[in-house]
Chains A and B, each alone.
Chain A
Amino acid sequence: EVHLVESGGGLVKPGGSLRLSCAASGFTFYSYNMNWVRQAPGKGLEWVSSISGSSSYIYYADSLKGRFTISRDNAKNSLYLQMNSLRAEDTALYYCVRLAELNRGWFDPWGQGTLVTVSS
């Protein structure tokens, strides 16, 4: 069964940093583009970042302005999101998601998410 489990969320002060992790299982991890999607409390879904299987192609939402870095370790079947200079507006549930087909398609599966709270 395909499975994604996020971890690393927590409470952090404005300006602080956090590193999220996502453990993947049940599929050939290196073959898939992986993404982070976030959802602020009571709000809609917002795509954050994408990384190709070989890490050759990386994209970010413009709103992040260089504060976040996505990476992956195919040997460990893991995806990461390094978040720096955190702001209150980064408070959200962060989901790790797989793009179902190469360079297009839907997100599936979705993990349970990891909650990031930025507050003093």
Chain B
Amino acid sequence: DVKVTQSSRYLVKRTGEKVFLECVQDMDHENMFWYRQDPGLGLRLIYFSYDVKMKEKGDIPEGYSVSREKKERFSLILESASTNQTSMYLCASSLSGNSYNEQFFGPGTRLTVL
């Protein structure tokens, strides 16, 4: 079974703090993704990575950066957290970038920025 784990289920940070969200997958998947989920907006892609050290912007990359130093780990970084980044963050992975591959999701991190 593919397992995607995220470092925290709930996180509370203050405006201006640097925030790290960690994601680890255990099935040697090539692709990893960060989404944010907001009511009425569904899932929006922030960044994805298709290989170690390779990354591409998704639909809403502003205010975020990512790091993938090892194949199994994909980190999302909020350089200076703001209240409008309060959201549910979902990490996912897929075997490859082919369009037929389903994605496997972690349990999510609910981030609150005060």
Query: Do chains A and B interact in one complex?
Result: no
